Amino acid sequence: MQAHLVTLPGDGIGPEVTAAAVDVLKHVAAHHGHDFRFSEHAIGGAAIDATGEPLPDATREACLAADAVLLGAVGGPKWSDPNAKVRPEQGLLALRAALGVFANLRPLKVHPRLAERSPLKTERLKDVDFVVVRELTGGAYFGAKTRDKERATDECAYTVAEIERVLRRGFELASQRGRHLTSVDKANVLETSRLWRHTAEQVARDYPEVHLEHQLVDSMAMLMLTQPSRYDVIVTENLFGDILTDEAAALAGSLGLLPSASLGDHHGGLYEPIHGSAPDIAGQDAANPLGAIASAALLLRHALGLEAEAAVVEAAVEHVVEHGPWTRDLGGTATTSQVRDAVIAALDLDEDCRPAFLAGMRACG
Ligand SMILES: NC(=O)C1=CN([C@@H]2O[C@H](COP(=O)(O)OP(=O)(O)OC[C@H]3O[C@@H](n4cnc5c(N)ncnc54)[C@H](O)[C@@H]3O)[C@@H](O)[C@H]2O)C=CC1
Ligand SMILES: CC(C)CC(=O)C(=O)O
Ligand SMILES: [Mg+2]
């Protein structure tokens, strides 16, 4: 298969983890007879430094024309002055809007080796296997903003159409998985959440096989840690999904492990680890690349339809989680490059040599 993939390394550890994921994709392409063409473009702080814009036109156009986009992360202290006119994060938000990727899938499974080490002993973490579907192009991140010396506002607005399309993604996923959908809102306080809840009830009529439950976001923040194996598909708005998934990363063992796929109706999608640019460890070859590599696996599956290749990459990631080497965030001493090399070595192992962990994994989108 031929594919044109745009890479957006971004800032901080973004270039380090993206390079590792690209090396894995090149290895997959070479071994499976695919012709992947990569082109790298600037976004975020790096793009501000180079052009003054966080999403230069050339980057937007290249992403729109690509079969899929692989992103590292944007942002950092250099560009975080509260009075700055342009910010790296604006570039990422504008890209998500331009690509129309309204559904951000963030799958989470807890590897037994990491469950053993977890301080969260309240439940059998090894049974945890859920996907958060986060609305990605609406809500407070995209509403009108104002600020003067005394007052600031961020409008949070949702239309029924925006809510419905992301809920449908959630219901469809739930009907392929455990047939349980948790819609998270703050309907006791927010009008947007009341509209969200009403819309969920309407959409649920088309998916009678899926059990719908509603959960308020504040109690959900607690339940996700105390009863995580109850959940199958969780659908929520942009801000709540951003916060809940970083919290969920504590279940998995590190923020550096979690991948994401941002999908819409008209583009192959945007693939990125859920973490940020981690300025505290940038430039040290210390970042965990597994979330970025697992995002590349989601790209193979969702953008290119290469299910077997995606499964091989996911199995290689699981092999490395099982046997090491581990980066510092998991309690190890390995570098980013050593973990990348271990994943590439595991790609070539016989299936029999890989852990059985993935065999029982439910579809993740
Ligand atoms: N998608 C994106 O581009 C995102 C960008 N950001 C930006 O990143 C910058 C830093 O934000 P933070 O709040 O510090 O969040 P962060 O996710 O960058 O880091 C939080 C903590 O997790 C650690 N961490 C994150 N990824 C890791 C990895 N792959 N391996 C090992 N450790 C890892 C970091 O070292 C840090 O201690 C900010 O400018 C923020 O706006 C934050 C989240 C998402
Ligand atoms: C615009 C991003 C920095 C928001 C974020 O934290 C994320 O998408 O995970
Ligand atoms: Mg986030």
Q: ipTM value of the model?
A: 0.99
| The two domains 1-107+255-365 and 118-252 share their CATH topology (first three levels equal) | yes
User: Residue 96 CA: which ligand 2 atom is closest?
Assistant: 1
Confirm or deny that 83 is annotated as ligand binding: yes
Nearest alpha carbon, ligand 1 atom 34 = 278
Domain 118-252 annotated CATH 3.20.20.60: no
Marked catalytic residue, from 11, 67, 232, 242: 242
- For ligand 2, is residue 89 a contact (CB within 6 Å)? yes
Confirm or deny that 57 is annotated as ligand binding: no
- For ligand 1, is residue 253 a contact (CB within 6 Å)? no
For the chain, the C-alpha Rg in angstroms (whole number) is 20
Nearest ligand to the C-alpha of residue 44? 1
Residue 255 sits at φ, ψ, to 5 deg, of -60, -25
Marked catalytic residue, from 26, 126, 246, 341: 246
Q: Exposed, middle or buried: residue 121 (CB in 10 Å: 0-12, 13-18, 19+)?
A: exposed
Whether the Cβ atoms of residue 153 and residue 255 lie closer than 8 Å to each other:
no
Question: Per-residue confidence of the chain (365 residues) as pLDDT tens digits?
Answer: 999 999 999 999 999 999 999 999 999 999 999 999 999 999 999 999 999 999 999 999 999 999 999 999 999 999 999 999 999 999 999 999 999 999 999 999 999 899 877 777 656 788 999 999 999 999 999 999 999 999 999 999 999 999 999 999 999 999 999 999 999 999 999 999 999 999 999 999 999 999 999 999 999 999 999 999 999 999 999 999 999 999 999 999 999 999 999 999 999 999 999 999 999 999 999 999 999 999 999 999 999 999 999 999 999 999 999 999 999 999 999 999 999 999 999 998 766 555 444 443 434 33
Residue 351, pLDDT score: 61
Q: CA-to-CA distance for 204 and 26, rounded, in angstroms?
A: 42
Nearest alpha carbon, ligand 1 atom 27 = 256
DSSP label at 253? Answer: T
Amino acid found at 73: A
Nearest alpha carbon, ligand 2 atom 6 = 242
Is 141 labeled as catalytic in the residue annotation?
yes
235 CA distance to ligand 1 middle (Å): 23
Residues whose CB is less than 8 angstroms from the CB of residue 346 and which lie 6 or more positions away in sequence, other chains included: 315, 316, 317, 319, 320, 354
278 CA distance to ligand 1 middle (Å): 4
Nearest alpha carbon, ligand 1 atom 4 = 276
Domain range summary for the chain, segments of one domain joined by +: 1-107+255-365, 118-252
Q: CA-to-CA distance for 312 and 300, rounded, in angstroms?
A: 10
Nearest to 230 by CA among 104, 107, 364, 127: 127
12 CA distance to ligand 1 middle (Å): 9
Is 242 labeled as catalytic in the residue annotation?
yes
Confirm or deny that 149 is annotated as ligand binding: no
Marked catalytic residue, from 11, 67, 129, 141: 141
Superfamily assignment of 1-107+255-365 in CATH?
Isopropylmalate Dehydrogenase (3.40.718.10)
Structure tokens at 171: 């219901």
Structure tokens at 351: 């299936």
